[in-house]
Structure 1
Amino acid sequence: MTTTSRLIAFLFICFSFASKGQNPEIKKKNNSKTEWVLANLLHEKSNNVEINGKPQIVASPYGEAISFNGTDDAFFLNELPLQSLQEFTVEMIFKPELNGLFEQRILHIGESTKDRMLLEIRAVGNNWYFDGYAASGTNKKALIDEKLIHPLEQWYHVAFVVTPKSLTTFVNGKQELQEDFSFLPIQSGQTSIGVRMNKVCWFKGAIYKIRITPKQVNPIDFMSFIK
């Protein structure tokens, strides 16, 4: 083998090794958790975050949280943390408050009207009930039961678990609803917090933290939450 041939072979091996070494990093990034402490989104003033209205920092039992006024406060993030995920768990620590709209969209990830996932509530009198919503192709499902009510003006942990075959909702670690659902990964869109992507159904209350895990999480491994 000539010197030139050896050099070409050496460079080929190095290139192949480097290429293989990149894949685990990409895979690791795509399978890492996404965590938003809402107060940090306000403090950091990232170019990826558009702030609508004047959401305020408030105290919570867990640290600084963000208060949404129910009329024009929201965050719009140029991020799609659910992209290509076949299953995931979305958790949120929040406090829904009195005098909000009946229908409130708190977290919206994906497209405005196509493939998407939402955490929602319905407020009736002094109470609320949970709604975990997913749209995947022609399949759409809202996990909601008006009998599963909870008092407003308290802090809660909610979770929405999505797998290729099912949807499941939890409130304070207790399973509420589960239904079969054929889910395909969301591939496009963005994220809104505090309102639906098209600026309807505003949320009134406070949010401390949102966490997205790219797998089905058991209740024992949910975010730490003390009521």
Structure 2
Amino acid sequence: MTSATRLITILFVCFSLATKGQNSENKTKTNTEWLVANLLREKSNTTEISGNPQITNSPYGEAVAFNGKDDALFLNELPLNSLQEFTLEMIFKPDLNGVFEQRVLHIGESRESRILLEIRAVDSNWYFDVFAVSGTNKKPLASEKLIHPLGKWYHVAFVVTPNKLTSYVNGKLELQEAFTFLPITTGKTAIGVRLNKVSWFKGDIYKIRITPKEIKPDDFMPFLKDETR
């Protein structure tokens, strides 16, 4: 074997091992699923409870009610850590008489790279507002024309890929825009409010799921479909 051939062989082996390692890492990434009632009940060392959120019944099972004033859960966890793409889903019920701007789920840093699921409450309706910050890139997806009645249960999804953002309500695509996303590597999670404790959510949350890839509506979490919404 010549020196050139030997060098090519070594480079090929190194590349194969590196690719295998990356593939193995991708395969080991699993879904994060939070039944919010379980998070409240377990009261682990990684969870801080603000106010007095209450376990309540829902059509899906036990959920957690947030009062829109000081109820929230803060998790010392970063489920989006280093993910290049993901689908963030939530089953929740926004209630009447909440403030206009409500942060329902906040993952990442308080002011730097972060992902937020938010709502805007107007009279007896709400519209979905998702927000992504990646380095110096910022992008909200929201339209006050896409309204839904308050006081009902909904499934929402936010799909983030390296080049676009997409939002869904009850499995129906609402908005999509181009966006350059780089993985989030630091931060924590807040449920029911923004990490810096402003814009509290009023309503109930049943479940949150994070899938480490882009998925389509057919693969979303099961949810009750109400055609009157």
The one-character-per-residue Cα deviations of 1:75-132 (angstroms, maximum 9, x if unpaired) are 0000000010000000000000001010000000000000000000000000000011
| Runs of 4+ more than 2 Å apart | 22-29
Distance (Å, rounded) in 2 between the aligned partners of 1:87 and 1:23: 15
Q: Aligned partner of 2:80: which letter?
A: L
Partner of 2:193: 195
Total equivalences in the alignment: 206
The one-character-per-residue Cα deviations of 1:13-71 (angstroms, maximum 9, x if unpaired) are xxxxxxxxx99876554x11000000000111111110000000110000000000000
Distance (Å, rounded) in 1 between the aligned partners of 2:22 and 2:38: 30
Partner of 1:13: none
**What is the TM-score with the length of structure 2 in the denominator?**
0.87
Q: Percent identity?
A: 70
Which ranges of structure 1 fall in alignment gaps of 5 or more residues?
Answer: 1-21
Partner of 1:106: 104
Distance (Å, rounded) in 1 between the aligned partners of 2:46 and 2:89: 21
Please show how residues 1-227 of structure 1 align to structure 2 within 5 Å.
Answer: 27-29=26-28, 31-227=29-225
**What is the TM-score with the length of structure 1 in the denominator?**
0.88
SS of residue matched to 1:150: strand
RMSD across aligned positions (CA):
1.5
Q: Aligned partner of 1:202: which letter?
A: W
Which ranges of structure 2 fall in alignment gaps of 5 or more residues?
Answer: 1-20
Alpha-carbon spacing, 1:69–1:87, altered in 2? closer, same or farther (3 Å): same
Q: Aligned partner of 1:118: which letter?
A: L
SS of residue matched to 1:94: strand
